[in-house]
């Protein structure tokens, strides 16, 4: 039987267009050990302009060995940077209108 596990830390994350937008550098869990978010090295080119952001776990889709972020660059453009030792602010999927 083929192993169905997926390594999370260090895995590339793609945007909806299929282009890599970042890489998971940490997973945030609650008191019960359940994942609530991930920290991404996001954006940049060749390491320049990249920043760390926190995204809610439900903003990530895990399919066929790939991880896709369901938030757009526009939604994350002005999002605050994740900083170790500070309260995590996680980007979430906007609620549908109505």
Backbone angles phi, psi at 87, to 5 degrees: -60, 135
Q: What is the dihedral of CA 60, 42, 37, 2, to 10 degrees?
A: 50
Distance CA 81, CA 51 (A): 7
Query: What ranges do the domains of the chain cover?
Result: 12-91
> Could you report the per-residue pLDDT of 29-38, keeping only the tens digit for each?
999 999 999 9
Q: Model confidence at 4, in pLDDT bands (50, 70, 90)?
A: low
Tokens standing for residue 45: 């080119």
The per-residue DSSP string of 67-79 comes to EEE-S-HHHHTTP
> Could you report the per-residue pLDDT of 32-80, keeping only the tens digit for each?
999 999 999 987 665 566 889 999 999 999 988 899 999 988 888 888 9
CATH code assigned to 12-91:
2.30.30.240
* C-alpha distance from residue 33 to each of 2, 42, 62 (Å): 26, 24, 19
Helix (H, G, I), strand (E, B) or coil at 96: coil
The pTM (predicted TM-score) of the whole model is 0.85
């Amino acid at each position: 039987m083929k192993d169905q596990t997926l390594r999370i830390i260090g895995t590339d994350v793609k945007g909806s267009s299929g282009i890599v937008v970042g890489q998971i550098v940490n997973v945030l869990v609650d008191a019960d050990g359940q994942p609530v978010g991930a920290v991404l090295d996001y954006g940049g080119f060749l390491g320049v302009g990249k920043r760390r952001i926190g995204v809610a776990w439900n903003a990530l889709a895990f399919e066929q060995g790939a991880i896709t972020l369901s938030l757009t660059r526009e939604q994350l453009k002005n999002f605050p940077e994740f900083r170790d030792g500070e309260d995590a602010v996680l980007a979430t999927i906007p609620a549908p209108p109505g």
